[in-house]
Amino acid sequence: MHKTAIAVTLLLAGIGTVAAQSKVGTDFPNRPIRIVVGFTPGGQPDIFSRLIAPRLGEALGQTVVVDNRPGAGSAIGTKIVADATPDGHTLLCVSASHVISPAVRKLNFDPVRDFSAITQMYNASYLLVAAPGLGVKNVKDLIAMAKARPGVLNFSSAGTGSGTHFAGEVFKDAAKIDIVHVPYKGIPEAMNDTMTNRVQVFMAPLASSAGLVRDGRLVALGVTSLKRVSIYPEIPTIAESGLPGFAFDSWGGLLAPSKVPRAIITRLNREVTAALNHPEIQQRMRSQGAEPSPTTPEAFDKQIARELKLIGDIAKRAGINPQ
């Protein structure tokens, strides 16, 4: 073929590629978008997905529906999205369980390789609480008591592999104390037995425990965030109360199947971020004990990889193996 003809062919091919890439952004979305939540209704991933869905749908010109697919610590819903057509119409709202699950159960998907991050949505602190009958008033007291009585104190959780479990494990590891994990079926059961001193401490979700602290039924020792929480500024952080640098938050965010075109990821990030920055949504999130915290896709990808390693290392030191 003549050199000129070859050059024209390559040019046209390049134009076609650019046009196809451009079309990806302009065609999306062309039908309703589904946000899969791997938990039952009522938790923060469900509540906040439903909170942003109408605004996201308005911005994208399509209905956005929330589809609860609970089970196996959110692994059932996660697998659905991992296997979905990678066109941006099926998304996944994840919590910190996304980085905890690989440490406690064998999965049929890869939490990094099979997904592309869109954005983190929120951070939510845990609150380290103690039984009133234990007699401790702060983190330093608890650490001192635990070191004086290794293997005697217990910490409750909402089940092995839950966020409340690993929040306790991270604290135990950072404080270098020997306290025994006691798993329960859920948060209410763990909370009740902490209030009655059957177990001594609990890394409780802030939103569900602050009222019990005010009523004197639990003692607040510290929040797990690096900064004090705006709606409960009187509660100190664990970092300022005896364990400098400590931080371990619950969080939630949106992922897509890994092969979704980058133009679609970019647009979804832009529209979800706009929704999260709306004053009404921010106020409603904060009323639930969460802080809106949109990020770039790249930053959220890095966070997930970093926390996977952190949790994996702590699980190994605690003798926890995938089942």
Per-residue pLDDT of 42-87, as tens digits, reads 888 999 999 999 999 999 999 999 999 998 888 999 999 999 999 9
**Neighbouring C-alpha atoms within 13 Å toward the C-beta of 265:** 22
pLDDT(179) > 90:
yes
Better pLDDT: 186 or 7: 186
- Domains of the chain and CATH, by start: 30-124+249-317 (3.40.190.150), 126-241 (3.40.190.10)
Using CB atoms within 10 A of its CB, is residue 111 exposed (0-12), middle (13-18) or buried (19+)? buried
Q: What is the CA radius of gyration of the chain?
A: 23
Q: For the chain, what is the mean pLDDT? A: 90
Which position has the token pair 């763990």?
A: 190
**Is the pLDDT score of 23 beyond 60?**
no
- Number of Cβ within a 10 Å radius of residue 176: 10
* Choice between 132 and 21, residue whose per-residue pLDDT is larger: 132
Instruction: At 49, list the tokens.
Output: 């997905």
Q: Convert the pLDDT of each residue in 8-21 to its tens digit.
A: 444 444 544 444 44
For the chain, percent helix, then strand, then coil, each to nearest 5?
A: 45, 20, 35
Query: On the CB side of 41, how many CA atoms lie within 13 Å of its CA?
Result: 4
Distance CA 309, CA 33 (A): 32
Listing DSSP states for 177-202 in one string gives ---EEEE-SSHHHHHHHHHTTSS-EE
Residue 5: pLDDT over 50: no
Please say whether the dihedral angle defined by the alpha carbons of residues 260, 261, 264 and 265, taken in this order, is positive or negative.
Answer: positive
Q: Given its phi and psi angles, is residue 128 left (phi above 0), alpha (psi -120 to 50 degrees) or beta?
A: beta
Q: What is the pLDDT of residue 17?
A: 45
